[in-house]
Structures are given as structure tokens and as C-alpha cells.
Structure 1
Amino acid sequence: MVGWLIKKIIGTKNEREVKRLRRYVRQISEKEKELDSLTNREIIELSKELHLKVSTDEHLRERIINGEITDEVILGFALVREAGKRTIGLRFFDVQLIGGLVLHQGKIAEMKTGEGKTLVATSAVYINALTDKGVHVVTVNDYLARRDAQWMGPIYKFLGLDVGVINSDYSSYKVEWVSEELVQEAIEKDLRVWPKGYFEEVLPSELIDMTAKKAFLTKLEPCERREAYQAHATYGTNNEFGFDYLRDNMAISLDDIVQVKGHNFAIVDEVDSILIDEARTPLIISGPSQMDTSAYYRADQVVRKLKKDEDFIVDEKNRTVILTEQGIRKSEELLGVDNLYDVKNIDLLHALNQALRAHHLFKRDVHYIVRDGEVLIVDEFTGRVLPGRRWSDGLHQAIEVKEGVPIQQENQTLASITFQNYFKLYKKLSGMTGTAETEALEFKEIYGLDVVVIPTHKPVKRHDHPDMVYKTKKEKWQAVINYIKEEHQKGRPILVGTVSIEDSEHLSELLKKEGIPHNVLNAKHHEREAEIIAQAGRLNAVTISTNMAGRGTDILLGGNPEYLAKEILAKRGKTPETATQEEWKQALEEAYKITQEEKEKVLQLGGLLVIGTERHESRRIDNQLRGRAGRQGDPGETRFILSLEDDLMRIFGGDRVKKMMEFLKIPEGEPIESRMVTKAIENAQKRVEAQNFQIRKRLLEYDNVMNTQRLTVYSIRRDILEGKYLKEYVEEFIRDVLEEKVHQLLPEEEPELWETKPLEDYLKELTGRDIKLPPARDKEELIEKLTNTVKQIYAEKEETLGKELISEITRIVLLNNLDHLWREHLHVLDRLREGIYLRGYASRDPLIEYKKEAFYLFENMMFKFKESSISDLLKVEVKSQEELKQEVQREEEQAEKLLKQAVFSGVEGKADQKGPRRKTLKERLQSKRRR
């Protein structure tokens, strides 16, 4: 009661923050009045002056990077607002400026669907890009990266900033004006709103929506990836930014590094999807491993013969499958092994565990689809296919065997990072989404990000009905069909959300039987995504969608004129490209008239109706579905129709509701519809969210161990790549190696007790020279003398080969050794992680044990790196061209001799199974010649 009263008097923390930011919005509006009287040329010059001031004033630059709201920030926001009006015809609402200020401060802006987040980001991007440190705008897919950069491109270009785009197929672009000459003419003529009536020979009609206007003003020109990153602002997906970071840290030349500006400021669109939903899966760059894939086929045959609850137990809540004692014995019998847990059977046990998971936790058309003989992962949060992505650790191979498609080689980790640790690299991080408040605690705890809920521009008129809960799925689907039929007869547009492809296709079949025309949007039909969503608000439209997170296209009541115009042209056998300007203009006018008439009718029917057929594990995904109705002050309704057999209800919360239904004697076909039931379901979701949070937190805790090591290795690697401190590294390595070995091989403290031979043998192995131990009073003096001796050998090598050559050789040797050992280390850590949980049975914390083991392994790896690098450098020999030619000739003669012996002994015939031996040898020799 007291808390409620305090909030009523002084407002919530969120309300106070929004009120504070409104003061700055008023200042921006005052600046806008001043800018309105300036010419285009004066606006451009003012932006140049601001850019020069911010980029050269170190103190001001730091203040902007730290998110302070200075006079320069106020001016920058006013310039962006003015540029938006003049170039793309969009003026920031006050609430959009509040959103931009929240982003600039390094916080998360929660803005409802349709509130214009794409435009909001430009203000924060612009003012931070003036620092010349680079800004990354992170989107959920390539299409949105290209669309947003091109759509908002005119604002940046007008104010003098470059914009780059990176895509997952390794293509990259820069945003350029469609016509530089016409733009300059528009500037000189001082035209204030370019798309409205200017360049009539290019722009066919004023009815074209913003999607077409962006294409008219700017275009995407292919460029080098490095160039895209050198732009003031770079748009791309979370995966590509992360993968480019990993690739940069695998580069063998500075010229191959693309993220040249580092990690200054990132704005993450759909921040909840990227930083929370996808955070359970680390980014991994991998290469082929040596595991025998036949183990997966053997394991699959065994798993098909095992019985659930007798031979293994499935825990759906924790997504694990565990063999029982009976199952272990049965598996050993079927595999023909004495002890499944013997070290020699470790690969077979691993394959068996993955086969169990593949068969009993991963469902076709829910977690993956099979297309063209390939298993493709379906993103559980967006319903999209993830081409090129594979489950790691042999799971993908197990599913391939299960589905009878060609098995691909298992991969070994070469480099990896979690999204949590990647995005922590940025000095300032912010994000925007329609649903973040439910995860505010996780954002704060993991990323240090506060969430600010931005008010809507117009009041929300959407009505959210209580959930309807049925006993069985059959009753639920019948209720959904009846509800759709009833509303469809009125002509009302309906969007139906499902949680899996399986459900969407089942509902589609039911609607076909009822003769109700509809569109299906899921991983199997994602090519028509934008078109399906854009027209989901038309009269009589029924759209089934597998998840609506991050779709990036608004549902316009009455439909989208541009897409409808394309349909009109298609009926006439034309496309926008082949039609004349007059035909295109006529089609647009027809489409605009139709959509406006339909919009009026849809508004009278109550707007878009959203039906949810199952609750998702996360409340945010449900809220994203709801948010499709009632955008920008439009009316709308939402309702979830559920059953006690739905996965969420069955696993986490159905018993209580079931007992309630039995107690109340609810007859078949009748639902429970009450706020209490809705609350019970939300509580179940909260439990799942808490569990998933713990999973992500645990993943981060384990990755933090590797992250410390990763940052150390990548820091050393960058120094080596840049040729920094090479001699210092070598001298430091010499001392470290000798210090370690002196203490190891001379355990006694007294010099007269030292057994010198093991150390002298080691020195010969390390340097290739006979080195006698010099007299010394103690170990410290001995280490000092030996260090000087070995340094002298390196100095002689430097004198013989020359400083430039030895420097390049040192760089290559250090780089190769570090990369090789780091890859091996990652593989060892993967295997350590698999079995570390067993320490829990000995009452030890697996995480603490993992930290200890990982630290020891890393120390060991670093010693090997230092030792092998010193040994290679001290033994390296540079051969002349003539010496190399003679060596190749000797090898050729030896190879010919071996070939004759092989043919004579009959080995040649056996080699045909793997390809002719003669050809392989010749190829090897030719390869050596080329080197």
C-alpha cells in the first residue's frame, strides 16, 4: 500500500526517467525551429562543423561515448530530425527522440510494434558516428540490415556520413545516392521534402510507400568488407559481427582484418531475441575432426531398439535423456562391448548419447526440417531456417542418421565465443525491442543494461482477452477453427500464431477442409515472408505464422499498396521492372484506392484479430505476437486458445489447472476462461524463463573461463600480427622456458647436488647446440647465465639472416605455433566440459573444478607455445633456391624408386580403391615445386 502510494505521488523509476528526458526533447524542438529556416547547404555545413568539433575534441568525444547529453548531442538530434523531414519525409515524434536519447545513453528502449524503431536508431547512430570510432547496428537478418541501411541512408548521406552493410554470404555494400547530380540539384534548389513531387522522371507516384522511397533515394553498391567496416555506421547481423571478430583473430595478415575500428558502440535491434534467446548458442568456427562417423550409425541402430522408461528416461523439463542400468547393459550387448564407459569406447558412448537426444528431444518440423537431403535447423524464436548453421558436438550428425540423409563430417572447434562475451567487447551497448521489460533483471545482471519503457505516440486501443483453456488438443483446434470461421465470415483479418511448423501445417489442413483461404508463414515458406506479412491486414485475410519475432514488416490494416500494385501488374502479365511509368502509376493508384476502402471496413470490424494457439516458453514471444495488433493507435484484439496437452502446460503447469477443471466438472468442449488461469500460465512461463536464465548464466560462467584465456591469446596474437614487441616476446619466452626447466630438472637447491645431464640434454634439444652448464651460486644466477647464452644464439641468428628476415620468420613461427596450440586447447576444453559434471557426484562444484583444470591446461598450453617457438627459431635454416631445387630432385628420384618397388610387389592394384598412388605422389611433388 505504501509502495503504491509513493509510486502514485512521485511516479515509477521509468516514469521519472522519461520525464527527465522530455526536458531534452523540448531543447531539441527549440533547435529544430532554428534549423527550419536554414537552407540545405547550411544544414550540410553545420553538420560538417559538428563532425569536426566532435572528432577532434578528445574530451567531448569521450563524453559522447560515455552517453552524456551535451549541447552537441542536442544539436545532433535536431539535425537528424531536420534531415529526416527533408530527405525521406519522416519527422521524429517526441517519443522517438526519447527512444534515441535512451539508446545514446547505453540503455534498452522498449518501444511497441509500429512505433518506428528503425528511424529512432538514426539519431543515436549519427551523434556517436561523429566520433569516427565506428557504430555497429545489429539486426536479426540480412534483409533487415540491407533494408534499414538503404531506407535510412539518405539521412546519413545528407549529413555527410558513410554507411556500410555486411551480409552472411560474405557480400558487403556501401550506401550511395541513386543520382548524385539530382541530389546536388535538390540541395541547390533548397527543396525541403525530396520524395514529394521531385525527380518526377524517376519517382512514378507520390503513393509509393517508404520502402520504395528509400530505393529511389539510395542504392547499395558492392564493396570490400573492410571498406564496409570503415564507414561511420555499419549495419549487419549479430552472427556476422561475431564471426568477423573470430575470423579477424584467425587472420594471418593485417590486410585480412576487417573490423578495423574495433568495438566502440553497438545498437542491437530486437535486443531480447539476440542477447537472450540466441545467447544459449555460442558462435563457433569449426573444421573437420577425426571422429569415425560409423559410430553414429551403430548408435542409431541401438537406440531404435531401446525402450522408453525401461532403458532410458527422458526429462523434457531439463531436456536430457539418461540411460538406466538396464539400458547400459542392453546397449553393451547390442554394441558387442564389455564396458561402454571404458576410455577406448568414449566415442561410441558419445554417439549413443547424441542419438538418444536426436530421437527423443529433437522433432522434425519443430526443431528442424529436411530439405533436399539436408537437415536444416529452425530457429525456435523466429521460425526461420538457419542455413549453414549446424548443431555442434555430433548432434547434427546423429539427426542426419536418424532422418536417413547423407551424414556430414563432425567438426572440431577452431574458434568460438558466446554472444554475451562478444557484445561485452563494446565500450557502449544499447538496444531496442517491443518486449524487454520481462527480462530486465537478466539484461542488468549479464550486460549491465537498464530498460526504459517508451510511451506510445498514440494510446493503445488493443483489447487482450483472457486465455481459453481446453482439456485436449482436439478440443482446442476445434475451438480455433470455429473462432476463425466466425470472424472470417465478417471479413475481419486474422493472424494465427503457432509455436512449430508441425502445428501451422496441421491448422492449415483443418482450414482447407473448411474451405477457408489462408497464407502460411513458416520456415518452409519464408521466401514470401515480407509479402505475406504486409498483406495480413487485408479484408478476409487469414495468416498462419510460426512465431512473429523480428519479422521487420508492419501489418497495415487494409493491406500494403505497393505489394497490391505488384499483384495488379502480375495479373496483366507485367512486373514493376517491365511496366511503363504510366502503367506502374495506374496500378499504384488502383491499389491505394482499394487499401484505403478496405482499411475503413477493417477499422469498423475492430481491426486485426490475433489468435495464439499455444503459449511459448517466453512471455516476450507471446507479447510480440500480441503486438502485431493495435499498432499506431489502431484497434485490435488478441486471444490465446490453449489445451492442457500443450507442451508448456503438460511439462510445467497443467496439473493444477486440470484439477481445477475436474473439481468444477467442466464438460468436454467447454473451456476455462478466467484471469486466474491466465495468471497460472504466466507463472509457469516465469518458471521456464528462470530456468532458461540459469542455463544461459551457467553457459556464461563456463565461457568466462575461456574468455579470459581467449582475450589473452588474441591480445598476444594481434601484437605478433602487427610485428610489435617480437624481440621482447622472444627474450621473455627464453627466460620463462629456462626458468621452468631449471626448477623442474634441478630439484635440489644446493649446486653441488645438481645432476646436470638432464638439463644439458634438454638445452641441446631446445637449441640444437651443446651447452655446458656454467658455474653458478644458485638457480637464479644459473637461469640468468643460461638466458644470456640462448639470447646470444638468437642474436647470432639475427645477424646471419638480417633483422628484417628474422623479424618476419619470428612473426610466422609465433603465429603458427599459437594458432595450432590454441585449436588443440579448445578441443581439450570441449572434451573437459562434457565430463566435468561427473565431479558433482563427488560433492565437488563442477564449475570450480572446470576453472582449476582449464587454468592448468592453459598454463601448459602457453608453456608449450613458448618452448616450441624458441626451439623453432633457434633451429631455423634458410635455404637458397638452388638448395631447394636439389632437395626436390632428390625426393623425385626417391619417389620413382618407391613406385617401381610398389608395382613390382603388387601393391599398385590394391591402391586403386583409394585412387592411383602414382598421381598422389606426383601431385605432392608438384605442390612442393610450387612452394
Structure 2
Amino acid sequence: MGKFDWFWKAMGSTAERNNKKSKAVVADAHGLIEELSLLDDNSLAETVRATVTDGAVKDKPRFLAGLSVASQRTLGMTPFNVQNQAVLRLLEGDVIQMATGEGKTLVGAMAATGFALQGKRVHLITVNNYLAARDAEWMRPLVEFFELTVAAVTESSSREERVAAYRSDVIYAPVTEIGFDHLRDNQITSREQTVQVPADVALVDEADSVLVDEALVPLVLAGSEGTQQATGQITEAVSHLVEEQDYTIDSDGRNAFLTDDGAAKVERLLGIESLYSDEHIGSTLVRVNLALHAKALLIRDVHYIVEDGKVALVDASRGRVAELQRWPDGLQAAVESKEGLDVSEGGRILDSITLQALMRRYPTVCGMTGTAVEATDQLRSFYGLHVAVIDRANELKRFDEADRIYATMEDKNAAIVEEIAHIHSTGQPVLVGTHDVAESEALAEALAQRGIAVNVLNAKNDAEEARIIAEAGDVGRVTVSTQMAGRGTDIKLGGADEGDHDEVASLGGLAVIGTARHRTARLDNQLRGRAGRQGDPGLSLFFVSLDDDIVTTGGADETFTAQPEPDGRITGNRAQQFVEHCQRVTEGQLLEIHSQTWKYNKLLADHRDILDERRAAILDTDTAWRELAERAPQRADELSHLPQEIREQAAREIMLFHLDAEWSEHLALMDDVRESIHLRAIARETPIDEYHRIAVREFKDLANRAVAQAVETFNTVDIDENGAHLADAGWKRPSATWTYMVSDNPLAGSGNSVISGIGNIFR
């Protein structure tokens, strides 16, 4: 546990006491397995159901033993005692830490079934669409053994499939799909349009990734306004700008700024007098700045790829294509124009929610991961969750070599190629973890020039992930992967069928090489964890250069000098300590960013709760009609000849239209406020306090404006047997919607890219 020892002592070893209790229950359950194995299927299922009274398990050993027998009978998988212990801790609401290859998929399915047997609907949240579909199908026999239902929701699911799936007892889905469906449900005008139904439990696979790494990622729903961006001429003008002469990039790599010379050049190329005139400052200048962001800060094959004539965003934390997502309006158009593609139509943000706010909507949150202990502080601070460390079924035999540190990126990259070639010559399989698409392809090309065949796994071919990862442990394989590193997919020695297991084990098992340290040690450990599964041998080794982002960012205020060897390598404890120091600095920065951002987001989350209550009242009761009739009684009398349900639905649509429009404006306004709130510090005001004051005031005005506008529309819009003709009066909801994710973390960029991370570039 290392640096977290103090925490466990301070807590009085609560987690250890809980684990001891769980082990005692598991031991009792083990003694019941033989007895329950003699029962037929119906009797076994009934025995397990009988242990649940009033939604709670009264006989935990018998409940657990029954789940174990059912697992063996339906899946052919007999859980280890440590797996049963993990199931118990999940059912108690913990985040469990289990090593790679120790069977988290079965543990999650057993726990989800256990929750469902208690009458709770479970969202089992996976890291990607493939795993959601695979695990739902794989674990279906166990869930259905108890006459429960299971389904998966993925990006390719139709609306009808989603509606059916969300009404199951156990739903497997990526967190983004659950979040986007929630946002879309917040746009409905009739309860029959609802896709989701509430769930009681979120059981999160790779919990540290969802609950910590991506917790502050806003999921955004945007709507079409049918406008086209006039970006072509502007993109052409910006393409002629030269860095340092015409524009500068700040030290964080988050913003690009025109110089006076750059502004003059753009004005000349566009044939306008001044970018800063009233005529252009609110339109042309905005698009120029977006085009500059696209040119200077967004790198093809790092932040996005071009596929089938379209820009596809890359999810920075996983290295995968972020399907059906796009950047905020204007920036997407700027990147498309930069790449010479058809430009998307414009739009506006309709709604937004962070993953942290989304997860806090569940009454119970629990999860599993291979690296939870390092995230203990965050899990406790932001969710009130405990971490339970589950022992390995077999002792770890992986050797974790000390980092190899080099003076320059060039020296490091050459050493990486040499090391891979050396290991490959022995037949030992190698998995290389890179930080972005461009780096993975450059490394693969360098290896190909050495005659080494490479399987590349990145955002351009993530559909092949399962096949590539399944074979990554076979003799002589070299697999180069982006940060996805096969999380959730087991790498077995000797290939998918483990046919050459013993041969690979004799060679030393899977060798994992990291091309740079990540911004937290936990991310390094996720990559390390691909090797050494279930007692297999393995090796992990990270390469670092003094040019790496983590060193330049974390060591920005430090001076480190050392005499490198002829090949550029820097040896000695001082170098190792300096790299570890840099990583601790970036970890601290991330924690501070998380803490500060959470304070800003929490108030909006509270406002969202109030808005949701208001929406529910309008959707489920006659609130809208009553309020409008009270404020405009004459108009209500004019409509008295219409059926009651027509009048109520018309009032509902009018009120919801203006409530949603005002919420959209509120989000945009608070975004602007947050962008400039740091200026309050100059006036000796506390930024967060001032932000809260403005947010509370504006939210009160939002509610009043929404009602006032609804009354005005109610008085003027045409309402007949077909309802309220809002579109005819110019009150038109978006004709199309799309979703996107935005990183709020300025350190979330690629490890070896030329920038530190674009962060949330439209804020």
C-alpha cells in the first residue's frame, strides 16, 4: 500500500475488518456448496430466493453458496473463494481491487444477479460497447437461471432496443450511453417518450477510470439550429499563420492567441478593416479563434482521425474512437474545414452532465478495478466509497523493472525499439503501451523496418481489439497499443486457446513496455497489470525521457542535471527519484483540479436536481395547465372547448420548451462566467463564492423567465385539436441532436505529444 499506509491506520483498518467478516461468510458458504449441489435447478433457485426477505439477504452464506452452484451449473465456472469474497464486498457497496485475470467479469455478474434478487435494477457499467455486448451475452445463463432478465445497451442499439433493455433487471452498458440517454430523456415532452427507467445500483467495471479519471468529463447534448458555418475562407486565412510570429500558444497548451501581426495578416487576407470592430468581434473573430485552435492545438491522429471523409474524435483516456460524438459547435466545423471536409451545421448546447453528477444519481454505487487503492482518497472524498482489496488466488510472479530514463525523446525512442527487438528475438511476447495513435503507428513503422511484425491496436482499428488482445500473449507476438491496453479483455499466455502457455511461461511470460510514465502511477499500474495474470510470470518496464510531458509539466519548477551515457541513458537513484517526484506533482495537480472543478460543478448539479423535479411535475401532472390558466384565465376560457388531454399536453409542451431553452441559456451563461471568474481574484473577491452568487441569482431568474415566456406563448400560439403549433410560431425544437465529451483536465493529453493536453478548449 506504500504511501497510503497512514490512511489505513487512521481508519482503524475498517476495510481489513470488513474483509475478515467476508472471509468468514465465504468459509461458511463453502461448506454449503456440496449440499446445494444436490438440488435440481428449480429447488436451487427457490432456495436462493428464499434467503431474501424485504429486499435484504438474511442468510448470506446460503445466498452466496447458491450463486456459486448456479454459476458452475450455467457457465461452467466455479468461483474461487476470493471471487466470492469480492461478490460480498460489492453487495455491501464497496469498490473492490482485484488483479488482472482474477475473474472480475464473473464477480460482476454474480453481484449484479445478487442485487437483482433483492429487487434492485442494476446498471453494470463497462468500459466500452464491445464488453457490454459480450458480457451480457456471456453471463446471460446465470442471470436467467433465477428468472431475471438481462440486456445490453450499446452505441448501435436502436431506440426500441434501448427502451426494452432499460426495463431489464440487469443492464450492461458503457457509462457514456447511459449518460447520453439520460440527457435525451431530459428533452421529452411526453412521458411515453421516456427511454430509461430509474436504476437502483451502478456497478462500475474499471471503477477508477469512470469514477476518478473521467469523473469531471462533461457529457454534452447539442441540437441543430440549421445554420452553416462560413469557415472556408477563414480556415484558408489562418492556415498561413506562423507560430511565434502570428500567434502564440500558452505554457499549458490549452490556448492559442493571435499577435498584432497575426491579426493584421488575417484582416488583410479576409479583406476586412478590423477583427475587433463591432461588426466582426462577435462573429468573425470567434471563428478565427476556433480555426486557430484547430490549426495549432488539435493534432490529427492524436486528438482525432479522419475516416470515411469524416472527423472522428479520439477518447484521450482510452485511445478509442468516440463514436457519434463531436466537438462544440464551431470547433468541429473548424477542424472539418482544416481537413478539407464537408462542414457540419451549427447548433447549441441543450444539456450537459458530468460523469460524477451522473453516478451520484444512483442510490448505490459500487465497482471493481485492478487499481483502486491509489484512488482511495478520491473515491472516499467524492462518493463516500470504501475500497476492499481482494487477495490474488495465486501469488504474483511478475518482475517490475526500474524505469529506464533517457535525456531526450530521440534517445528514448531508439532504446525502446532496441529493447523490443531484443525481447522479440527470444520469442517472448511483448505488449507496448503508447499514448496516442500517432505514436503507436510511428513505433510500429520503426519496428517494421527492423523486420518485426507488429499488431497495432488504436482508435483506427479498435473494432479488432478482442482478436488482437486475445493473441497478444502468444509466442513471438509484438502488440503496440494505445492507452486502451486491452482493459477488460484478458491476455492469456500462449494465445486465446492457451495452446502454447507453458512455452511462453518458460520464456518469462508477457513483457509489458510503457513508452512513457502516465500522469498518475495508477495508470502505469493498469498497464503493468496486463502481465502476470493468475500466477503467470511476466515483466513490466517503463521508458522515460526528460522531454516527456509528465517531466516537463511535473518538473516545471525544478532543475535536474545529469551526465547521460553515450546512448543518452541516465542512471542513478537521483534520476528515478526526480521522475517519481514529477509524477507526484502531476497527481497533486489532478487532485486539485478535481477538487476545484467539483466545487463549480456541484452547484449546477443541485440546480439540475431542481430542474428535474420541475420537469417531472410538468410531465406527470396538470401543473402546466393549472399555472398557465391561473396567469392567463381569458386564454384558458377560449380553449375550454378542447378536450382536457389536448389542453394539458399543449400547456406541457409550451412550458417545457421555454424551461429547456432557459436551461440551455443558463449553461452557456455559467460557462462564460466560469471562463472569466478568475478575474474576480484581482478585485480581492473569492472566485468560487462569486460564481455561486451569480449562479444562484441567475437560476432564480431562469425560472421566472421560463414561466413569463410560457404565458406569453400560451396567449399567442395557435392551439387546436392537434395541439400547440409551436413550430409555426418560430418556437422549434432542434431537428437533430448529437453528443460529445469534453475533457476538463489540462493534463489529460497524450503522453508524448508536443502539447500538454488541450483540456476544455471552448471554456
Q: TM-score, normalised by structure 2?
A: 0.87
Displacement of 1:246 in angstroms is 1.2
2:89 corresponds to which of 102, 106, 110 = 102
1:509 corresponds to which of 445, 451, 454 = 445
Question: Which runs of structure 2 are paired with 1:438-837 in the superposition (5 Å)?
Answer: 438-549=374-485, 551-561=487-497, 595-596=498-499, 598-653=500-555, 658-659=560-561, 661-662=562-563, 666-726=564-624, 729-730=627-628, 734=631, 767=632, 790=633, 793=634, 796=637, 800-801=641-642, 803-837=644-678
Residues 429, 511 of structure 2: 8 Å contact kept: yes
Residue 242 (structure 1) aligned with residue 173 (structure 2): no
CA distance in structure 2 between the aligned counterparts of 1:499 and 1:26, rounded to whole angstroms: 44
CA distance in structure 1 between the aligned counterparts of 2:404 and 2:671, rounded to whole angstroms: 46
The equivalent of 1:214 in structure 2 is: none
Residues 411, 567 of structure 2: 8 Å contact kept: yes
The equivalent of 2:169 in structure 1 is: 232
Displacement of 1:800 in angstroms is 4.5
Displacement of 1:146 in angstroms is 1.0
Q: 1:4 to 1:301 in 2, by over 3 A?
A: closer
Give the residue type in structure 2 aligned to 1:428: T
CA distance in structure 2 between the aligned counterparts of 1:8 and 1:833, rounded to whole angstroms: 39
**Residue-by-residue CA offset, 1:43-72 (whole Å, 9 max, x unaligned):** 02224445xx54xx2xxx3xx4xxxxx524
List 4+ stretches of structure 1 deviating above 6 A: 3-11
Residues 839, 845 of structure 1: 8 Å contact kept: yes
2:691 corresponds to which of 850, 854, 858 = 850
Q: 1:800 to 1:39 in 2, by over 3 A?
A: closer
CA distance in structure 2 between the aligned counterparts of 1:241 and 1:441, rounded to whole angstroms: 26
Q: 1:800 to 1:411 in 2, by over 3 A?
A: closer
CA distance in structure 1 between the aligned counterparts of 2:330 and 2:614, rounded to whole angstroms: 32
CA distance in structure 1 between the aligned counterparts of 2:135 and 2:425, rounded to whole angstroms: 37
Residue 34 (structure 1) aligned with residue 21 (structure 2): no
Larger Rg: 1
Q: 1:694 to 1:304 in 2, by over 3 A?
A: farther
Residue 91 (structure 1) aligned with residue 27 (structure 2): no
Question: Is 510-519 or 549-558 further displaced after alignment?
Answer: 549-558
Residues 625, 652 of structure 2: 8 Å contact kept: no
Displacement of 1:245 in angstroms is 1.0
The equivalent of 1:431 in structure 2 is: 367
CA distance in structure 2 between the aligned counterparts of 1:820 and 1:259, rounded to whole angstroms: 22
Structure with bigger helix share is 1
Question: Is 249-258 or 283-292 further displaced after alignment?
Answer: 283-292
Residue 273 (structure 1) aligned with residue 209 (structure 2): yes
Displacement of 1:839 in angstroms is 4.1
Residue 864 (structure 1) aligned with residue 684 (structure 2): no
Displacement of 1:243 in angstroms is 1.1
CA distance in structure 2 between the aligned counterparts of 1:808 and 1:88, rounded to whole angstroms: 49
What SS does the aligned partner of 1:230 have?
coil
The equivalent of 1:358 in structure 2 is: 294
What SS does the aligned partner of 1:276 have?
helix
CA distance in structure 2 between the aligned counterparts of 1:699 and 1:118, rounded to whole angstroms: 33
**Residue-by-residue CA offset, 1:201-254 (whole Å, 9 max, x unaligned):** xxxxxxxxxxxxxxxxxxxxxx63222111111111101111111121212222
Residues 549, 621 of structure 1: 8 Å contact kept: no
Q: 1:145 to 1:538 in 2, by over 3 A?
A: same
**Residue-by-residue CA offset, 1:360-381 (whole Å, 9 max, x unaligned):** 3322212211222222111222
Give the residue type in structure 1 aligned to 2:508: G
Displacement of 1:467 in angstroms is 0.6
Greater length-normalized contact order (CA 8 Å, ≥ 6 residues apart): 2
Residues 299, 348 of structure 1: 8 Å contact kept: no
The equivalent of 1:213 in structure 2 is: none
Give the residue type in structure 1 aligned to 2:249: V
CA distance in structure 2 between the aligned counterparts of 1:542 and 1:795, rounded to whole angstroms: 73
The equivalent of 1:153 in structure 2 is: 140
What SS does the aligned partner of 2:452 have?
coil
Residues 471, 668 of structure 1: 8 Å contact kept: no
Residue ranges of structure 1 left out of the alignment (5+ in a row) = 65-69, 173-222, 562-594, 735-766, 768-789, 889-931
Residues 320, 484 of structure 2: 8 Å contact kept: no
Residues 466, 639 of structure 1: 8 Å contact kept: yes
Displacement of 1:847 in angstroms is 3.5
CA distance in structure 1 between the aligned counterparts of 2:436 and 2:517, rounded to whole angstroms: 11
Residue 15 (structure 1) aligned with residue 16 (structure 2): yes
Residues 466, 674 of structure 1: 8 Å contact kept: no
What SS does the aligned partner of 1:416 have?
strand
What SS does the aligned partner of 2:305 have?
strand
CA distance in structure 2 between the aligned counterparts of 1:698 and 1:342, rounded to whole angstroms: 35
Residue 117 (structure 1) aligned with residue 104 (structure 2): yes
What SS does the aligned partner of 1:164 have?
strand
What SS does the aligned partner of 1:136 have?
strand
Q: 1:300 to 1:452 in 2, by over 3 A?
A: farther
Residues 400, 407 of structure 1: 8 Å contact kept: yes
Q: TM-score, normalised by structure 1?
A: 0.72
CA distance in structure 2 between the aligned counterparts of 1:624 and 1:702, rounded to whole angstroms: 30
CA distance in structure 1 between the aligned counterparts of 2:721 and 2:17, rounded to whole angstroms: 75
CA distance in structure 1 between the aligned counterparts of 2:61 and 2:233, rounded to whole angstroms: 64
**Residue-by-residue CA offset, 1:622-666 (whole Å, 9 max, x unaligned):** 21111111100001111112222223223333896850x23xxx3
Residues 286, 412 of structure 1: 8 Å contact kept: yes
Give the residue type in structure 2 aligned to 1:823: S
Question: Which runs of structure 2 are paired with 1:282-431 in the superposition (5 Å)?
Answer: 282-289=218-225, 293-294=229-230, 297-298=233-234, 301-302=237-238, 304-308=240-244, 310-317=245-252, 319-323=254-258, 336-338=272-274, 340=276, 342=278, 345-431=281-367
Q: 1:28 to 1:531 in 2, by over 3 A?
A: same
Residues 161, 232 of structure 1: 8 Å contact kept: yes
Percent pairwise identity: 37
What SS does the aligned partner of 2:569 have?
coil
Give the residue type in structure 2 aligned to 1:119: L
Residues 397, 538 of structure 2: 8 Å contact kept: yes
Displacement of 1:36 in angstroms is 2.4
CA distance in structure 2 between the aligned counterparts of 1:642 and 1:374, rounded to whole angstroms: 35
Displacement of 1:266 in angstroms is 0.6
Residues 162, 195 of structure 2: 8 Å contact kept: yes
Give the residue type in structure 2 aligned to 1:315: D
Q: 1:23 to 1:473 in 2, by over 3 A?
A: same
CA distance in structure 1 between the aligned counterparts of 2:704 and 2:194, rounded to whole angstroms: 27
Residues 280, 695 of structure 1: 8 Å contact kept: no
Displacement of 1:96 in angstroms is 1.1
CA distance in structure 2 between the aligned counterparts of 1:224 and 1:374, rounded to whole angstroms: 27
Residues 295, 347 of structure 1: 8 Å contact kept: no
Displacement of 1:101 in angstroms is 1.9
1:256 corresponds to which of 190, 193, 208 = 193
Residue ranges of structure 2 left out of the alignment (5+ in a row) = 729-763
Displacement of 1:311 in angstroms is 4.7
Displacement of 1:29 in angstroms is 2.1
